[in-house]
Amino acid sequence: MSAVESKAKNQDTTVLIIEDEAQITRLIELELKYEGYDVLTATDGLEGLKAIKDKSPDLVLLDCMLPSMSGEEVCKQVRADAKDTPIIMITAKDSIDDKVKGLDYGADDYLVKPFATEELLARIRAVLRRKPKSETGTLQYKDLWLDQFNRVARRSNQELELRSKEFSLLRVFMMYPEQYLTREFLFSKVWGYDFIGESNVIEVYIRYLRSKLREKQFGKLIHTKRGEGYMLKAIEGAPLEEDGSDD
Ligand code: CA
Cβ proximity of 154 and 160 under 8 Å: yes
Q: Is 224 helix (H, G, I), strand (E, B) or coil?
A: strand
Give me ligand 1 centre to Cα 46, in Å. Answer: 13
Q: Quick one: pLDDT at residue 135?
A: 54
SS (H, E, C) 43-110: CCHHHHHHHHHHHCCCEEEEECCCCCCCHHHHHHHHHHCCCCCCEEEEECCCCHHHHHHHHHCCCCEE
Cβ proximity of 127 and 108 under 8 Å: yes
Q: Quick one: pLDDT at residue 155?
A: 94
Q: Quick one: pLDDT at residue 91?
A: 84
Domain 138-232's class?
Answer: mainly alpha
Q: Quick one: pLDDT at residue 243?
A: 45
Residues of the chain with pLDDT under 50: 132-134, 239-247
Backbone angles phi, psi at 56, to 5 degrees: 40, 65
Domain coordinates in residue numbering, the chain: 3-130, 138-232
H/E run at residue 40: strand 38-42
Give me ligand 1 centre to Cα 224, in Å. Answer: 41
Give me ligand 1 centre to Cα 192, in Å. Answer: 25
Q: Quick one: pLDDT at residue 246?
A: 44
* CB-proximal residues (5 Å) to ion ligand 1: 20, 63, 65
Give me ligand 1 centre to Cα 170, in Å. Answer: 33
Q: Quick one: pLDDT at residue 229?
A: 92
Q: CA 52, 124, 17, 13: dihedral to nearest 10 degrees? A: -60
Give me ligand 1 centre to Cα 147, in Å. Answer: 36
227: CB partners within 8 A, 6+ apart:
none
Chain center to CA of 152: 15
Give me ligand 1 centre to Cα 160, in Å. Answer: 35
Give me ligand 1 centre to Cα 47, in Å. Answer: 14
Q: Quick one: pLDDT at residue 93?
A: 63
| Sequence letter at residue 54 | D
Query: What's the predicted TM-score (pTM) here?
Result: 0.54
Give me ligand 1 centre to Cα 238, in Å. Answer: 52
Q: Quick one: pLDDT at residue 7?
A: 64
Give me ligand 1 centre to Cα 111, in Å. Answer: 13
Mean pLDDT for all residues in the chain? 84
Domain topology for 3-130: Rossmann fold (3.40.50)
- Pairwise CA distance, residues 216 & 190, whole Å: 25
